Amino acid sequence: MTRHDLGERARLALKRPDLLREAAWINGVWVTGDAVIEVTNPANGKVLGAVPALGEAETLGAVAAAHAAFPAWAARAAKDRAAILRRWFELVMAHRDDLARLMTAEQGKPLAEAQGEVAYAAGFIEWFGEEAKRAYGEVIPGHQADKRIVVLKQPVGVVAAVTPWNFPAAMITRKVAPALAAGCTVVLKPSELTPFSALALALLGEEAGLPAGVFNIVTGPPAPIGAVLTTDPRVAKFTFTGSTSVGKMLAAACMGTVKRVSLELGGNAPFIVFDDADLDAAVEGAMASKFRNTGQTCVCANRLLVQAGIYDAFAERLTNRVKALRVGDGLEGATDQGPLINAGALDKVERHIANAVAGGAGMLTGGRRFGTSGTWFEPTVLIDVPPLALLNIEETFGPVAGLVRFETEAQALAMANDTRAGLASYVFTRDLDRAWRMGEGLQYGMVGLNTGLISTEVAPFGGIKESGLGREGSHFGLDEYMELKMMCVGLAPAPV
Ligand code: SIN
């Protein structure tokens, strides 16, 4: 039975059609199944293909494969692992166009953004391959004259990773590359909405020389797969990117076997513009932060806090920029905004807008769904959003910029910090002292000062409070996959 729309497949126009895999990847074998999950293009609702709906038995098999592959992979010289990661990076970059088209088709983001994400994803493979060779331990002066203390860094073991749909490639390599570089083996469960990017990465990983069992992908519904990954004692480390509510449940399940846990959860990013800001830079920063991936990133500006003196000018310029955004199917010419991921996302955006307007917010542009197929929403700007509106207290995950007016720096800081989320925040000001005060005062894992784009493989990405645990990217990201082992060495007295 054909499980895809023929026109949709033709539109993909992949130079290497075999990059689209409709099978899971376990122990170096492509695994199919009778039950499947269809993958649709959110731009038009058409079926691109299907992946097997695997469950407990196959997940146990993948964990067993990763467990068996671990000793040999961990024992290889870091330089060897680095060479394989380097080849993987080169293959990903060589197939950038195909990977981007697949991503746009399954996720909806504009092709230029998908191209950018492929390079971002490859950057993690390159970076961590290089870092593998620098996983230095430490020698500590002994606490007694006849003692020496050495600290080794060793791979934690089998890593289970669960990744989201909003960045179908980069959120995978941000976890898998450091894990493999450290000497760990991996079982990945990608989002069932966007599995094709993950499977294409696995194919290229195999071509780069990753041995069977070192990187496994189980496709299927979250519950049975997650149940194994969070409870199997052979899994040493669990890493998740997704919603705060799901992250809390998964982390709790991991505690039964005291797994190491990293969580990259939801945000509620304040984007603060002071009267002394460079207005053009602030508007461009807001566009980049708010409308990247059609507002569907966890570091998207969620609340735009704008000082009274610049408020009207900022609102006007932002609205003009938003009106000029090209919204459309990324496979059909240059676009700036794509569809939202699904109907649930549309519902949430609508609910947030209705709630803000009911509370007194004004609409400057957008505000409606459109199109007869696909999940399309107009890029929207709202002003005078009440502080307690849903738009300000929940993560909207859509193309809606809601402006809130403030008067003083202290007021802005208090509003910004009044949330249990603590992922990303942004400040625009030309006052150096204020920039430092705000940078130090914001209770967030990341602060963008006069920039709306902060993500890179070379910097630590992660949140505080309920936005997560641990850091991804940078040399700190490698430590998440390594244990410290202390060896205390007792020395015999010197011969007389
Ligand atoms: C995310 O939305 O989870 C990640 C965004 C990024 O890496 O910039």
Which tens digits make up the pLDDT trace of 346-377? 999 999 999 999 999 999 999 999 999 999 99
User: Is residue 1 scored above 70 in pLDDT?
Assistant: no
Nearest CA to ligand 1 atom 7: 455
Average pLDDT over every residue of 120-131: 98
3-state secondary structure of 355: helix
- CB count, 10 Å around CB of 343? 12
User: What number does the ligand 1 atom closest to the CA of 461 have?
Assistant: 7
With a 6 A CB cut-off, is 166 part of the ligand 1 pocket? Answer: yes
DSSP character at residue 494: P
Query: Mutation test of ligand 1: which of 163, 241, 268, 299 has the most ligand atoms closer than 8 Å to its C-beta?
Result: 299
Contact by Cβ (8 Å): 276, 381: no
Distance 297 CA to ligand 1 centre (A): 5
Distance 57 CA to ligand 1 centre (A): 32
Tell me which of 264, 378, 409, 457 is the catalytic residue.
Answer: 264
pLDDT at residue 496, as a whole number: 87
Distance 298 CA to ligand 1 centre (A): 6
Annotated catalytic residue 298: yes
Which tens digits make up the pLDDT trace of 384-426? 999 999 999 999 999 999 999 999 999 999 999 999 999 999 9
User: What number does the ligand 1 atom closest to the CA of 174 have?
Assistant: 7
Which tens digits make up the pLDDT trace of 431-480? 999 999 999 999 999 999 999 999 999 999 999 999 999 999 999 999 99
Question: Quick check: pTM over 0.85?
Answer: yes
| Cα distance between residue 122 and residue 92, in whole Å | 6
Nearest CA to ligand 1 atom 3: 298
Which tens digits make up the pLDDT trace of 38-72? 999 999 999 999 999 999 999 999 999 999 999 99
Contact by Cβ (8 Å): 447, 464: no
With a 6 A CB cut-off, is 299 part of the ligand 1 pocket? Answer: yes
With a 6 A CB cut-off, is 297 part of the ligand 1 pocket? Answer: yes
What is the band of 168 on the pLDDT scale with cuts at 50, 70, 90?
A: very high
Instruction: Tokens for 451, please give them.
Output: 């920039």
pLDDT at residue 2, as a whole number: 56
Closest CA to 330 of 94, 42, 19, 46: 42
Annotated catalytic residue 264: yes
Query: Mutation test of ligand 1: which of 117, 297, 341, 446 has the most ligand atoms closer than 8 Å to its C-beta?
Result: 297
pLDDT at residue 350, as a whole number: 98
User: What number does the ligand 1 atom closest to the CA of 297 have?
Assistant: 2
With a 6 A CB cut-off, is 173 part of the ligand 1 pocket? Answer: no
Which tens digits make up the pLDDT trace of 300-311? 999 999 999 999
What is the band of 200 on the pLDDT scale with cuts at 50, 70, 90?
A: very high
Closest CA to 427 of 308, 324, 276: 276
Average pLDDT over every residue of 279-296: 98
Distance 167 CA to ligand 1 centre (A): 7
Q: For the CA atoms of the chain, what is the radius of gyration?
A: 24
Query: Mutation test of ligand 1: which of 175, 455, 467 has the most ligand atoms closer than 8 Å to its C-beta?
Result: 455
Average pLDDT over every residue of 168-174: 98
CB-based contacts of 453, cutoff 8 Å, min separation 6? 285, 288, 289, 292
